[in-house]
Amino acid sequence: MNPTPKVLILCTGNSCRSHMAEGILRKVGGNLFDIHSAGSNPAGFVHSKAIQVMKEIGVDISMHYSKHMDDFLNADVNTVITVCDNANESCPVFPGQVNRYHWAFEDPAHAKGSEEEVLAVFRKVRDQIRNTFEAYAGGFREGIALKADS
């Protein structure tokens, strides 16, 4: 296993949820993880509203790009986290994979309504992802501290 565990966050399109999760985990996890995101059927872009709502919390994902999960099949992935049900169902086992988590979030790309209503959905999903991934990083950090104390 790598000294810095490789975490792969998967969703179907790799355009919203997985990029938001990647950006948040990079921010709160610091150098705890080597973080990547991908999709089972990549959209080929990162949604502009995902970029916008992430900037609101000080996370820049504007340079992210959409990738296919198969790009990581030989990447010694330690942890796979799926953030949508479709990706969870189509997720392969990656060589070196030790952990797998599934935390499904609504796809904000399917939100309907006015500009402000759609942005409200993106913000809601962003905040849910932030709460989940902040807790994940905190738990990981506590686990390291416990191992160091024993």
Largest CA distance in the chain: 54
* Amino acid present at 140: F
Q: What are phi and psi of 28, to 5 degrees?
A: -85, -25
Active site residue: 24, 35, 61, 84, which one?
84
Active site residue: 16, 51, 87, 91, which one?
91
Active site residue: 9, 10, 11, 87, which one?
11
Sign of the alpha-carbon torsion through 33, 35, 40, 46: positive
16 catalytic, yes or no? no
Over the range 6-42, which residues count as b (16 or more CB within 10 Å of their CB) and which as e?
Answer: bbbbbbbbbbbbbbbbbbbbbbbbeebbbbbbbbbeb
Active site residues: 11, 84, 91
